[in-house]
Structure 1
Amino acid sequence: MAISLLAGMLSSMPVRAQQVSSQPTTPSQPAPSMKDQMIGKWELSTTERSKTCVVTLAADAVPQGFRLELEPGCGKALPFTKEIVNWAIRGLDIVRLQDASGQSVIDLTEVESGIFEGQRAGEGIYLLQTLEAARASVRPMDQMIGDWAIVRGNGNTICRLTLTNTETSADGFDVYLKPRCDPAVENFAPAFWRLERGEILLMSRRGETWHFEADDNAQWRRVPDSANPMILLRQ
C-alpha cells in the first residue's frame, strides 16, 4: 500500500521539475589567472621611455619559473636585463623577472590597469606595459626635445625654455631657461625634465615637480588645472 502510494506521488510530480533536477549544472568559467594575463609581448623601460627593451613572456615552464625572451639590444639599453633568465608570479600580484636561481632581478607590481612598476636600488623606477599600449599611447621622447614656451590661458608668454636630451643623474634631462622669465617660473627654477606615463614633468633641484598633460588642443596644460592655467607650447 505504502509503495503504491509513493509511486503515485512520483508519477504526479510536474514533468518540468523532474527535467530540471536531472539536468547537469554547467560550472562557471574561472577568471584568467595573473599568469595567463601576462603571456605576450611587453615593453620594459625607464619612466620616460628613453631606454626600452621588448620582453616576451611565455607560458612554458622552466626551472624556477616560466620562459621569456629578450630582444637583441636589451642588454645595451638596460644592462641589468643581462641577468634575467625567466619570469614568475610571486604572491598575489608581483611579476618577478629573475635570474637562473630564482632570485629577483626586478619585481614589478600593477599601479594602473596594464602598467607595472618596479624599482632597482640606485638606478630608479622602471615600467612594464604591453608592447601595443606602449607604442600606441606614449609619445616618442625625441618629439619633446627643443624650444618651448610657457603661456598663460590669456595667451601671454611668461617664459621660454629648452628641453634637451642631455641625461642627468636625477633620472631626467637638462632644462635651460631663457632670460626674462616670469618670477613664478624663475622661483620654481626647473632644472630637469622627463616623460612619465604620458605627462611632461618639469622638476626643480629642490624636488618640486610640475606636471603637464596633453589636452584636446594638442597643448600641454599644467595639472591640476587652475583659473589662470599654464600651458606648454612647442616653438
Structure 2
Amino acid sequence: MTGRRAGMVVAAVWAAIACGAPARSQDVSTLKKDMIGQWELATTDRSKTCVVTLKNDSTAQGTLKLELEPGCAAALPFTKDITAWSIKGLGDIVRLQDAAGQPVVDFTEVETGIFEGMRTGEGIYILQNLAAARSLAKSMDQMIGDWAMVRGNGQSICGLTLTNNEANADNFQVFLKPKCDPAVTAFAPTQWRLDHGQIVLMSESGETWQFEADDNAQWRKVPDSADPLILLRQE
C-alpha cells in the first residue's frame, strides 16, 4: 500500500536514447503530464500522510506550482519547506523543492504510479496517486484480523492473525495461533503484505506463500494444487 506500501519493487530508471535531447524532452513531458493531480505523500506504513496537489502552472522561477493540504506540516514537518515541484534527471525524478530551488525530497518511480524518496536521517517516503492510495488503504484494512488456513475439504489446519504492525519498510507482522499443522509450523510466517492483489506470507528465511482471491471470495495458495490451501477471513 503500497507500502505500498504497501509491496514495492525497484523499477528500472527510464533509459536515455543516445542522441538524447529530444528523447529526454519527451520523457520530461510525459512524466510531467502524468503527475498533474492529487497525490498522497506518506511514510511507508501510512501512519503519517499528506495530500499534495501538483499543478501545471509555472512559477516565476520556472518550476511548477503545488498545494499542500493544511495538515501537512503537522503530519510531515519537512513539507513546510516545499514550495514547488519539477522534473529532474533524464525525466525520471519528481522533485519537491524549496523556494531556493533545492530538493526537499526527490522521488523516483518504483512501480506504476508509486514513487519512492528518501530523506537522510528520516527514512523512506512514498508518493502515490491519491485515489489508488486510498483504495489500497481500504484493501489493507479489510485484510487486518483473524484468518483460518484450511484444506480444500474444509479442514482447518491453522489460525493466524494479520496485523498492521510494521515489521519493516514493506511488510507487516503476522502471528500463528497454537496447534497449527506441521507444514505451516515449519514454514513459520512472521510477515505479510498485499502485493499486486495477492496476500504474501513470508518466513524469517525468506520463503514465501502467495494467495490469490478466487471467484468464491476465498484466497487460494498459488500455484494451485490437487489439495488446495485456502485462507478464509474470520468474523
- With normalisation by structure 2, the TM-score equals 0.69
> Per-residue deviation at 1:232?
1.6
Alignment of 1:221-232 (within 5 A): 221-232=220-231
CA distance in 2, matches of 1:75, 1:187: 46
Q: Relative contact order: is structure 1 or structure 2 higher (C-alpha 8 Å, sep ≥ 6)? A: 2
CA distance in 2, matches of 1:106, 1:215: 39
Which has more radius of gyration? Answer: 1
In structure 2, relative to structure 1, the CA distance for the partners of 1:127 and 1:182 (3 Å cut) is farther
Structure 2, unmatched stretches of 5+, are 1-25
CA distance in 2, matches of 1:227, 1:80: 53
- Partner of residue 128, structure 2: 128
- Partner of residue 70, structure 1: 68
Alignment of 1:42-53 (within 5 A): 42-45=39-42, 49=46, 51-53=48-50
Amino acid at match of 1:220: W
The answer to whether structure 1 residue 109 and structure 2 residue 113 are counterparts is: no
The answer to whether structure 1 residue 38 and structure 2 residue 38 are counterparts is: no
Alignment of 1:169-180 (within 5 A): 169=168, 171-180=170-179
> Per-residue deviation at 1:167?
3.2
RMSD of aligned Cα (Å): 3.2
In structure 2, relative to structure 1, the CA distance for the partners of 1:55 and 1:200 (3 Å cut) is farther
Aligned residues: 203
Alignment of 1:1-235 (within 5 A): 33-45=30-42, 49=46, 51-62=48-59, 63=61, 65-78=63-76, 81-90=79-88, 91-100=90-99, 101-103=101-103, 105-109=105-109, 111-112=111-112, 115-120=113-118, 123-124=123-124, 126-129=126-129, 131-136=130-135, 139-169=138-168, 171-235=170-234
In structure 2, relative to structure 1, the CA distance for the partners of 1:227 and 1:133 (3 Å cut) is same
> Per-residue deviation at 1:176?
1.5
Instruction: Name the SS for the 1:33 alignment partner.
Output: helix
> Per-residue deviation at 1:188?
1.9
- 1:116–1:127 CA contact under 8 A, matched in 2: yes
- 1:46–1:127 CA contact under 8 A, matched in 2: no
In structure 2, relative to structure 1, the CA distance for the partners of 1:226 and 1:85 (3 Å cut) is farther
- 1:166–1:174 CA contact under 8 A, matched in 2: yes
Structure 1, unmatched stretches of 5+, are 1-29
The alignment-based identity, stated in percent, is 59
> Per-residue deviation at 1:56?
0.6
Amino acid at match of 2:63: G
